[in-house]
Structure formats: structure tokens, C-alpha cells
Amino acid sequence: MTAQLITPQARLPQSDELSDFCEDLFASLPRSDQRKWAAVYLRGLLSVPGRKSIRRMSDQVVGWSAEQSLQQFVNQSPWQWNSVRRMLARHASVIRPKAWLVHEAIFPKNGRNSVGVARQYVPSVGRTLNCQLGMAVSMASNDDRCVVNWRLVLPGSWDRDSERRTRARVPDEVRHHPHWRYVAEAIDEMTLGWGLRPAPIVWNAVGQTTGPLLRDLTTRRLPYIVQVSSNTPVLPARVGSGSTRILSAAELAEISASRRHLMVSVRDPLRTKGSSIPFSLLSICDLCPPELRVHVTSACSHGGTRRMLAQWSVRGSSLHLDGVWLTNLAKARLSQLVDLVELSPRAAHEDMATLRNNFGLQDFEGRSYAGWHHHVTLVSAAHTYQMLQRTRK
């Protein structure tokens, strides 16, 4: 006897809160069957315990005979994930985000054929892994965060491998870029494409090139506070005989500390009662002679006020530099800047762990470029739906 195909409509409740959420979120999908399978996949991410493979989700949400249809929807169907993410960001806006957080998402892989997989250096862990690497942008308040936008980092080796590109259906225009370009593209989409009012962009970019991104954000008057490597060139200084050299972030931080520029200790909530973390804050451009500002690589080259926040630790009787951030938030108090930078590492660790453990972020079994984007978009939707349910209680 031939098994009867069980359609999404046959098994999914039609009048619950999740159905209403799906109806709104997936309204841009042009076909009714796409909208139905999107709801199935989302419900599977929310309800199936353990590994969220397509087979397990089809078995537990719809029925075993739906596996092929669900696989086709995620991996081959041409629906546009950008429109879904735009609607997702509108839902997430209820948290009134105080920052947009940028962080890496690591997808460990054993093989070499999944889209974008390669042995590549991962800045956030400081070592080389065989993985896919994504850049995620979260809308964040103090209590809630939602990942609403994604970019897949395509390694340079994929630009030259036409066979793997064809198998993974990577569009011709998708090429390898430095990480800052992926960040800039995601921010552009959110501000120019989706019409969102930008919150301060917070990114731990240690070990990466940041100058081009900061110049781009400055030109477009977008707020940011970006952690940079201690050797990042920041400010020109005279070194005698009329010559100049560029002071690094670490050198400028040492000068700041020696002059006690707004040195403030901020209480550390994660440590013992009464412990605190010293920070210093200074305006970079105020220290830069006007005739030298044209030489600045990342701070003053486009005018305006640039500031540097430095975090310290006390070891014996000495201060040791633990982190440096560049920002164009000219009017923010030091405590406000510290609140922003403390959001980033917590989000990178907690959010990726939650998406991985609770919503199947790393359980995608397909290899296509569109499939990767479809999966991470639906994972973000499941996470956001759960957050919205929690905030309404």
C-alpha cells in the first residue's frame, strides 16, 4: 500500500500563536507550499529535541514521507531569505535594541564540500579550523538579543574552485572578501535596504583589518564602538627632525594612562564584591596636530570626534592593557561605553551556544549556498519567536 503524503496543512494547527507568527514572517514567500514548509521547519526547530535533522523534523512534525519535500524546500527552493530577515528584524525591534552586535559563528566540518568550508583562521578563537565561518549581526538590549542578519565568509580557495562552486550553487557574484566587507554589507542591508534606525555597532575585531570599515561607518555617520588590536595604527606623532610616525592603540593607551585621562574604575559584576575594572577614555583627535590628521589611518581621517576606550588590569603596582576600542560616540559617558562593550563577548558566547544547542544551528546537512542561508534564517526565526514568547509573559 502506498503511503499517503502528509501535507503541512494536514498536521499543523492553524490558529495558534506560532501559526500567526509564521503567516506574518513568511508572507513574502511567493508560493503557498513554500510558506507551509517554512512553518514546518520552524516548528521542528522549536519542538524536536536533540539533533534537528530534516529526517527527525519531518518524522515528528509532519510524517516520514515529507522528508524529501522539506529537503527540497531548504536546499533547492529559490525563496529569498532577505525578505524574511527584514520582517524578522521588525519583530525583534520590540526589544528596543541599544546595540547591533557583530560576531562570528563557527560551523565545524569534517569534509570539504559543504559550501564555504575550508581550513581557515578563525580570529575569535585564534587558531585554524576546518569549518564554515559566518558573520552574524544581533539586535541587542540588556536582557534580550536576536540574530537578524547573516553573511557566509567564503574562503579565497573557493574563488578558484569552479567544481565546488557549481556543486554548492554559489552565485557568480559571491566572492571572498575580508571580514570587514561582510560586516559593511550586512549593516548596509539593515540601514539602507530595511530602513532600520541604526544602534551603535559593537564588534570585537581583534586580529582583523578595521580601518576601511571605520572610515565607511564614519563617512555614513553610523555609530560604532569596535575593539581593535593593540598594534592598530591610530595617531601620528612627531619624532624629531620634522618626521612623523603613527602611534599604535597600545602606545596611545599608555600615554592616556600616564596622564590619567578620565581613568575610572567600573564595578565588575562577575567578580567578587567590591572588585572593579579600570578604564581610560580620551579624545584622539584633540591630541592630533591639524597638519598631521591626513596621515591618520583609522581615527581622524574623515573629521569628527574619535575616542579611544582602554581596559586595564592591576597587577601588583602596575597597570596592564587588556583591550582597546575605537568609537565615534562623542557624547556617550564612560559607563555607557562600558555597558556596550560588555554586551559583545556575552552575546558571542551565549547566543551562539543557544542557537547551537537549542535550535540546531550546526545541524544543517545540505551543502548549497542557498540552503545555508535558508537554514540560519529559520534558526534565527525560531530563536526570536521563543524570545518574543518569553517577553510577553
Lowest model confidence (mean pLDDT) among 57-71, 290-304, 365-379: 290-304
Question: How far is 249 from 253, CA to CA, in rounded Å?
Answer: 6
Mean pLDDT rounded to a whole number for the chain: 85
Q: What's the pLDDT tens digit per position in 144-172? A: 999 999 999 999 999 999 999 999 999 99
Q: Does residue 137 or residue 110 have the better pLDDT? A: 137
Confidence at residue 7, expressed as pLDDT on a 0 to 100 scale? 44
Say if residue 3's pLDDT is above 50: no
The type of residue at 170 is V
Q: What percent of the chain stands above pLDDT 90?
A: 58
Question: How far is 218 from 273, CA to CA, in rounded Å?
Answer: 39
CA dihedral (123, 128, 129, 131) in degrees, to 10, reads 60
Q: What percent of the chain stands above pLDDT 70?
A: 84
Band of pLDDT at residue 384, cut at 50, 70 and 90: very high
Tell me the pTM: 0.88
Cell 565615534 maps to which residue? Answer: 328
Band of pLDDT at residue 118, cut at 50, 70 and 90: very high
Question: How far is 92 from 145, CA to CA, in rounded Å?
Answer: 8
Confidence at residue 258, expressed as pLDDT on a 0 to 100 scale? 74
Question: How far is 182 from 249, CA to CA, in rounded Å?
Answer: 24
From residue 202, how far is each of 179, 226, 304, 360 by CA, in Å?
Answer: 14, 6, 19, 26
Q: Do 354 and 379 meet the contact criterion of CB atoms below 8 Å apart?
A: no
Q: % helix / strand / coil in the chain, to the nearest 5?
A: 45, 25, 35
**Region 190-210 average pLDDT:** 93
Q: Do 239 and 304 meet the contact criterion of CB atoms below 8 Å apart?
A: no
Confidence at residue 349, expressed as pLDDT on a 0 to 100 scale? 79
26 phi/psi in degrees, rounded to 5: -105, 20
From residue 45, how far is each of 81, 100, 192, 213 by CA, in Å?
Answer: 17, 25, 30, 35
**Region 195-224 average pLDDT:** 91
Confidence at residue 42, expressed as pLDDT on a 0 to 100 scale? 96
Question: How far is 42 from 359, CA to CA, in rounded Å?
Answer: 9
Confidence at residue 299, expressed as pLDDT on a 0 to 100 scale? 44
Question: How far is 82 from 149, CA to CA, in rounded Å?
Answer: 8
Q: Does residue 263 or residue 53 have the better pLDDT? A: 53
Confidence at residue 350, expressed as pLDDT on a 0 to 100 scale? 84
DSSP annotation string for 264-323: EEEE-TTSSTT-EEEEEEEETGGGS-GGGGGG-SSSSTT-S--EEEEEEEEETTEEEEEE
Say if residue 185's pLDDT is above 90: yes
Band of pLDDT at residue 251, cut at 50, 70 and 90: confident
Q: Left (φ > 0), alpha (ψ -120 to 50) or beta: where does 182 sit? A: alpha
Cβ-count burial of 284 within 10 angstroms (0-12 exposed, 13-18 middle, 19+ buried)?
Answer: buried
Confidence at residue 141, expressed as pLDDT on a 0 to 100 scale? 92
